[in-house]
Structure formats: C-alpha cells, structure tokens
Amino acid sequence: MDESGDVLRVRDLYKEHGHHESLVRAVDGIDLDVPTGQMLAVMGPSGCGKSTLLHLLGGLERPTDGQVWLAGRRIDTISERGLARLRRRAVGFVFQAFHLVEELSAAENVELPVLLAGGSPRAARRRAALLLERFGLADRARHLPWQLSGGQRQRVAIARAVANRPHVLLADEPTGNLDTTATLDVLRVFEDLRAAGQTLVIVTHDERVAATADRLISMRDGMFVDDTRLAGSTTGRLDGLIRLED
C-alpha cells in the first residue's frame, strides 16, 4: 500500500494498439486513485477501453506510457517475473467466462491459487472450505464445473480469485452470462467482500452492478467522462434491487 492508502494509483496512462493509420488509443491519458475498501464500477460502450484499463491495472498488459502503482509497488517498470509474483499475491481476477479448470472440482479450483503461491495442501483445503461455505457453495464443493449453474460457477471463480487474500479484486463483466437470480447472488458476494474491506474494480454493462458500487466511472473513447460517488450504503442499494426484482 502507498502512503495515501490507495491500493491502485495511475498517472497519465496510455495504451495504444496498431501503428500509423491503424493506431487506436484504447486508454487515453487516465489518472485514477482507488482507496482501500472501495467498490468501483466502470461503465461505457463496447470498445471504449474498459477492459484494457482493467488489464493495465492488474498487470496483464503493459502501458504504452504512464505509471501504475499496485499495493504500493510500481508495476509498469518491473520484470515479467516480478510482475507475475506480485499478481499472484496482490490481485484476484474474475472474468465473464469463469475460466475454471474443468477437470477440477469446485474446491480444487479454489485450492489451486493457494497451492501455486506455496501454501500447504492443508491450508489450501481449509481456505477453500471456508470460502465455499461463505458463498453458499459448501454442498457443491466436490462438483465439477459442468455440474454447476452459471451463478454457482461464477461464485466459485470469485472464491478462487480471493483465495490468496488479494489487495484488489478485478472483475470483467462478471454478470454478463448470468440471469437475474444469479446476478443478485453474485452481487451479494461482492457486498460481503466489500463489507470485509476488499477493494473491487468491476467493469460492467449491467446497471444493477453499477448501482451497488461506492463509485461509478463512465468511459468513452479511452477517457473518463464522469466520476460519481454514489450516495447511501451499498447494502441499502442492494436490498433495494432485491425488492425490485421480487
């Protein structure tokens, strides 16, 4: 963490694709600070740079120019090996397509990052059991991904993403493949994590997701066009959504 308490800090960030006439500026001069415990939603039309920004924040892509600090460490200048180590410790990723290992059970998928980070099998099993219980999936621990619903698979993916207690959870369209009931289940999980102090950055087209965030940023053409702090508690907004759906 840096001295300001920000988990993520970005200055004058650019990401370009292509060359000359085909040059596209996916991220165009962005500044951003994300403090510990904030749930930030990023919205905008397809192709506006939302997912590229998320990849830059998590070190999945390198910027063309600019500076990125993650958990107090500048990541745009460190080696690939150092970046991989930092990602494993400091970042959890959740994607629209789940990306679970199909040959592993729900519990084994959640255990995997703990084992890859050097944790013992016993510690991995305990962590997976705790998270699956917390997210309402204890009775699905031994199921393979194909035996789970879409919402259950996404909750397993979130459990896997936070297994190593990351500084920040980055989610790219996490409800894009889910129905209303499954979406609300995932939002309950996000609220549980945020209430426990987890920092979340969520790229979404779903206004229900954005409505439960602490802060909403709108993007267009690689730039921020609006940055709004949402009033009221996230729990209250989620409860309101649930009542509307009921």
In sequence order, the 6+-apart residues with CB closer than 8 A to the CB of 70 are 7, 8, 57, 58, 59, 86, 90, 91, 167, 168
pLDDT (tens digit per residue) in 195-223: 999 999 999 999 989 999 999 999 999 99
Give residue 220's region: left, alpha or beta (phi > 0; psi -120 to 50): beta
- The highest-level CATH class for domain 6-245 is alpha beta
Q: Is the pLDDT of residue 245 over 70?
A: no
DSSP secondary-structure letter at 144?
Answer: -
Average pLDDT over residues 160-181: 94
Q: Is the pLDDT of residue 242 over 90?
A: no
What pTM does this model have? 0.91
Average pLDDT over residues 70-94: 92
Domain residues of the chain, as ranges?
6-245
Q: For residues 22 and 166, which has the higher predicted lDDT (pLDDT)?
A: 166
pLDDT (tens digit per residue) in 178-189: 999 999 999 999
